[in-house]
Amino acid sequence: MPSGESGPDPRLQEARDDFVTQWGAIGNAWGINRTMAQIHALLLVSPRSLSTDEIMAELKISRGNANTNLRELVGWGLVRGVIRKGERKEYFEAEKDVWRMFATLVRERKRREIDPAVEVLRRCRDQTRPMRGGEAEDFHRQISALLDFVEMASGVMDKVAGAERSKLMPLALKLLK
């Protein structure tokens, strides 16, 4: 260590630990398991890629828990495996570009949640289209209105996920004013 340096500031480590813990709690509120969110947070703020062993040690989790959640994060496109020359271990790093991370989350949430909802709504709408009677017609009308809204939201999600940050941010800022 060069003269004058005493190592990392303990306040930085405290802030990192707090972020990892709180990101886990936030992820849990969004329907993502706490450990998966904590692994993502740890990799997001890590200055270098980390091995499974390092992640396990830092978060005090089992190998199975680490491997399961890392596979899920890789599947979501939020984390990628990194091979270091001469190393047998696989290392992991998070997507650090916040816009890309957000677009990936939007795409994945849409694929996993919105698309199946659209399928169900279409099927229910199509099943009730030929039905007559007040209750059936009300049901059909309500499902059709819900389908229209969810399809519109799906289209917005597609636009957001596919847009370049530089083109979408000015529009978003206008909407917030």
- Mapped onto helix, strand or coil, the DSSP state of residue 9 is coil
Do 95 and 78 meet the contact criterion of CB atoms below 8 Å apart? Answer: yes
Number of domains the chain is built from: 2
Residues 46 and 58 in one domain: yes
Query: Residue 3's pLDDT band (boundaries 50, 70, 90)?
Result: very low
Say whether both 110 and 162 belong to one domain: yes
Q: What is the mean pLDDT of the chain?
A: 88
Query: Nearest CA to 154 among 125, 124, 113?
Result: 113
Last residue of a domain, one of 94, 120, 152: 94
**Could you report the per-residue pLDDT of 38-52, keeping only the tens digit for each?**
999 999 999 999 999
Question: Do the bridges between strand 50-51 and strand 79-83 make them parallel or antiparallel, or are there none, so unpaired?
Answer: unpaired
Which pTM does this prediction carry? 0.74
Q: Give domain status of residue 126, yes or no.
A: yes
What's the CATH number where 33 sits? 1.10.10.10
Q: Helices (DSSP H) in the chain: which residue ranges?
A: 10-29, 34-45, 52-59, 63-76, 98-109, 115-128, 134-162, 165-176
- Picking from 94, 111, 138, the residue at the C-terminal end of a domain is 94
Digit-coded pLDDT (tens) for 7-30: 678 898 899 999 999 999 898 777
Query: What does the pLDDT average to over 130-153?
Result: 93
Residue 5 lies in a domain: no
pLDDT of 167: 66
